């Protein structure tokens, strides 16, 4: 693979990861202005905020299967086009219903883009570049999380809330030509019909689970339809597993779950996602409510985290080869947990620099975990990389929502308990914040233990690496997907 194509692919992966994550965070600061100018109720505003994440999370599994059926290049181009067009429609929306519909379609586009992007990493990039690609992608996600409030606040204050969505249009148009860098033979379509019952059941299960988490985090888990949502989601998930075991062309091949690397890696990523997303959410509140940071300055506080993540990512794969993936990734998760504990104890009189040691530990540790995604997909056949990518993406998206909800619920309940016992509001919030981040740190430490168990067998590690290298040799020889041409080797 030439340097020009490699650079274009890396730029495409970073840009798509940044776009789809930024849209999930940039709108939050603009919501009060949207409510005022469009005359929305509080319920309308909740749907504007949640519609993107609901459709995104619910459709990731079908998006992965469509990638296998129609090819990585085609699905990636379609997803970017849908996302860009929906962003333009959101910018032009003149009513709450139109805005919610446009945000929902944005989620559909993102649900096509992310599994296809991960499939490109697993099947089309040279093996030695995959961790770099995942690192860039992860750094783009962290940068989007950090910049979301900054960009949203600045644009809303200086121009109009509609520019929050219009910003996606030029970025999407920039990403579309880069899709041509995906090798022409990438993801030759797999024959077979889409498993419509599986799609319906997976969408119902993931949609209701995500909605229940979002709704429960805002209004309480015993309020309204939340318990019913969780019950129906669990039932749909059970029926989904039965259907997948019996259908000849499943949405998710259950045999993939026998791969310890895939199942263990997904679980570790979920636990990491709970901790990291929880700290972004709660620390943003802490910076503004307790330390008095402006939204812009609060967002800028996370930029060093994204920077150190980007700088440390090239060290992740050599470290994994030297120590073993199970050790290096577990060390990374341990550093993330230490960072969470440090941030939780900074107190009511901390400054910008007091937070940075903990945030830098989170960034450096997250960089060491970047080989985890590659290890998750390394043993998956090329024809199923989209399916596995959808599974990994769905787990990550749900873990993000769950992390925000879990830390938020713990923070809120401890805060209320402290207030009832006579504590002042600042100390009550700090007590809840400290407990929430300590819980997040425990989740990340559990992920480290899962990693040590799931990736510890050296024989298994060698088999997975051998499969990955075997695919790379086929690609170089012109016999594998995405091969640039036949090369004669000795």
**Domain stop point among 208, 230, 250:** 250
Residues 359 and 440 in one domain: yes
Entry pTM: 0.70
How does pLDDT run across 336-380, given as a tens digit for each residue?
Answer: 999 988 988 887 788 778 888 988 998 888 888 877 777 777 667
Instruction: Enumerate long-range contacts of 28-35, CB under 8 Å, 24 or more apart.
Output: 28/148, 28/149, 28/152, 29/148, 29/149, 29/152, 29/153, 29/156, 29/295, 30/152, 30/155, 30/156, 30/161, 30/164, 33/156, 33/161, 34/99, 34/161
Residues 231 and 313 in one domain: no
Cβ contacts of 431 within 8 Å, gap of 6 or more:
414, 415, 418, 423
d(Cα 111, Cα 315) in Å, to the nearest integer?
Answer: 30
**Domain stop point among 115, 145, 178:** 178
Whether pLDDT at 426 is above 90? no
Residues 351 and 410 in one domain: yes
d(Cα 341, Cα 128) in Å, to the nearest integer?
Answer: 34
Whether pLDDT at 271 is above 80? yes
Whether pLDDT at 428 is above 70? yes
- Pick the range with the lowest mean pLDDT from 228-242, 400-414, 451-465: 451-465
Residues 413 and 455 in one domain: yes
Whether pLDDT at 299 is above 60? yes
For residue 486, the model assigns a pLDDT of: 37
How does pLDDT run across 217-262, given as a tens digit for each residue?
Answer: 666 777 778 888 889 989 988 998 888 888 777 777 777 777 777 7
The residue with greater pLDDT, 190 or 313, is 313
Residues 459 and 363 in one domain: yes
Residue 489 lies in a domain: no
Residues 279 and 245 in one domain: no
For residue 205, the model assigns a pLDDT of: 84
The residue with greater pLDDT, 480 or 433, is 433
Q: What CATH number should be reported for the domain holding residue 145?
A: 1.20.1250.20
The residue with greater pLDDT, 376 or 332, is 332
Residue 183 lies in a domain: no
Residue 187 lies in a domain: no
For residue 481, the model assigns a pLDDT of: 47
For residue 86, the model assigns a pLDDT of: 92
User: Is 442 in a helix, a strand, or coil?
Assistant: helix
- Cβ-in-10-Å burial (0-12, 13-18, 19+) of 489 comes to exposed
C-alpha distance from residue 131 to each of 23, 77, 320, 369 (Å): 25, 23, 10, 10
pLDDT bucket at 474, cuts 50 / 70 / 90:
low
For residue 470, the model assigns a pLDDT of: 54
How does pLDDT run across 109-127, given as a tens digit for each residue?
Answer: 988 888 888 777 767 777 6
Whether pLDDT at 81 is above 90? yes
For residue 461, the model assigns a pLDDT of: 44
C-alpha distance from residue 86 to each of 91, 100, 105, 353 (Å): 9, 11, 6, 40
Cβ contacts of 214 within 8 Å, gap of 6 or more:
50, 53, 54, 401, 405
Cβ-contact 135, 316 below 8 angstroms:
yes
Residue 331 lies in a domain: yes
Residues 28 and 129 in one domain: yes
Residues 285 and 405 in one domain: yes
Residues 164 and 212 in one domain: no
For residue 192, the model assigns a pLDDT of: 55
Greatest CA separation for the chain: 79
Q: pLDDT over 70 for what percent of the chain? A: 79
Q: What is the arithmetic mean of pLDDT over 54-76?
A: 79
Residue 164 lies in a domain: yes
**Domain stop point among 224, 250, 276:** 250
For residue 1, the model assigns a pLDDT of: 59
Residues 334 and 268 in one domain: yes
The residue with greater pLDDT, 289 or 200, is 200
pLDDT bucket at 460, cuts 50 / 70 / 90:
very low
For residue 369, the model assigns a pLDDT of: 83
Counted domains in the chain? 3
Residue 185 lies in a domain: no
Structural domain boundaries, residue 275: 255-481
- Pick the range with the lowest mean pLDDT from 32-46, 89-103, 289-303, 380-394: 380-394
The residue with greater pLDDT, 56 or 294, is 56
pLDDT bucket at 464, cuts 50 / 70 / 90:
very low
The residue with greater pLDDT, 438 or 307, is 438
C-alpha distance from residue 96 to each of 90, 168, 169 (Å): 10, 20, 20
Rounded to 10°, the helix 325-344/260-289 angle is 20
Whether pLDDT at 7 is above 90? no
Nearest 5°: phi and psi at 447? Answer: -60, -35
For residue 384, the model assigns a pLDDT of: 67
The residue with greater pLDDT, 269 or 338, is 338
User: Is 225 in a helix, a strand, or coil?
Assistant: coil
Whether pLDDT at 59 is above 70? yes
- Pick the range with the lowest mean pLDDT from 32-41, 172-181, 317-326: 32-41
- Cβ-in-10-Å burial (0-12, 13-18, 19+) of 285 comes to middle
d(Cα 274, Cα 408) in Å, to the nearest integer?
Answer: 11
For residue 490, the model assigns a pLDDT of: 32
C-alpha distance from residue 282 to each of 3, 14, 251, 404 (Å): 41, 26, 36, 8
C-alpha of 156 from chain center: 25
Residue 345 lies in a domain: yes
Residues 50 and 169 in one domain: yes
Considering 44-53, 259-268, 456-465, the range whose residues carry the highest mean pLDDT is 259-268
d(Cα 22, Cα 29) in Å, to the nearest integer?
Answer: 12
For residue 383, the model assigns a pLDDT of: 67
d(Cα 392, Cα 118) in Å, to the nearest integer?
Answer: 9
C-alpha of 367 from chain center: 15
Residues 223 and 259 in one domain: no
The residue with greater pLDDT, 116 or 489, is 116
């Amino acid at each position: 693979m030439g340097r020009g194509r490699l650079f274009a692919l890396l730029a495409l992966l970073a840009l798509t990861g940044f776009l789809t994550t930024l849209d999930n965070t940039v709108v939050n600061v603009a919501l009060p202005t949207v409510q005022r100018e469009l005359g929305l109720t509080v319920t309308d505003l909740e749907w504007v905020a949640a519609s993107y994440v609901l459709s995104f999370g619910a459709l990731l599994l079908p998006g992965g299967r469509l990638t296998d059926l129609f090819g990585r290049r085609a699905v990636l181009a379609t997803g970017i086009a849908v996302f860009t067009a929906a962003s333009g429609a959101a910018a032009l929306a003149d009513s709450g219903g139109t805005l919610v519909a446009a945000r929902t379609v944005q989620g559909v586009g993102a649900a096509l883009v992310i599994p296809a992007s991960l499939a490109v990493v697993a099947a089309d990039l040279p093996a030695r570049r995959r961790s770099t690609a995942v690192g860039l992608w992860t750094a783009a996600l962290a940068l989007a999380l950090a910049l979301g409030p900054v960009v949203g606040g600045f644009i809303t204050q200086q121009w109009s809330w509609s520019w929050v969505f219009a910003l996606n249009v030029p970025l999407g148009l920039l990403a579309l030509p880069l899709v041509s860098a995906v090798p022409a033979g990438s993801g030759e379509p797999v024959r077979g019909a889409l498993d419509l019952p599986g799609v319906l059941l997976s969408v119902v299960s993931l949609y209701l689970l995500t909605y229940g988490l979002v709704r429960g985090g805002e209004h309480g888990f015993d309020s309204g339809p939340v318990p019913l949502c969780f019950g129906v989601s669990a039932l749909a998930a059970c029926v989904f597993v039965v259907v997948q075991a019996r259908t000849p062309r499943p949405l998710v091949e259950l045999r993939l779950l026998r791969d310890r690397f895939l199942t263990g890696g997904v679980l570790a990523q979920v636990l990491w996602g709970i901790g990291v997303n929880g700290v972004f959410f709660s620390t943003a509140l802490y910076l503004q409510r307790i330390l008095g940071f402006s939204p812009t300055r609060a967002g800028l506080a996370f930029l060093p985290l994204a920077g150190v993540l980007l700088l440390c990512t090239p060290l992740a794969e050599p470290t994994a080869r030297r120590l073993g993936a199970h050790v290096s990734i577990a060390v990374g998760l341990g550093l993330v947990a230490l960072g969470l504990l440090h941030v939780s104890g900074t107190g009511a009189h901390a400054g910008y620099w007091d937070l940075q040691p903990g945030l830098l530990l989170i960034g450096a540790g997250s960089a060491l975990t970047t080989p985890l995604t590659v290890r998750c997909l390394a043993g998956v056949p090329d024809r199923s990389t989209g399916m596995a990518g959808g599974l990994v993406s769905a787990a990550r998206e749900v873990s993000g929502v769950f992390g925000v909800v879990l830390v938020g619920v713990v923070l809120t309940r401890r805060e209320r308990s402290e207030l009832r016992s006579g504590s002042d509001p600042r100390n009550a919030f700090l007590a809840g914040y400290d407990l929430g981040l300590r819980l997040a740190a425990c989740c990340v430490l559990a992920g480290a233990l899962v990693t040590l168990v799931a990736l510890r067998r050296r024989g298994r590690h060698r088999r997975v690496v051998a499969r990955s290298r075997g695919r790379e040799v086929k690609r170089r020889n012109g016999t594998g997907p995405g091969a640039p041409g036949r090369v004669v080797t000795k």
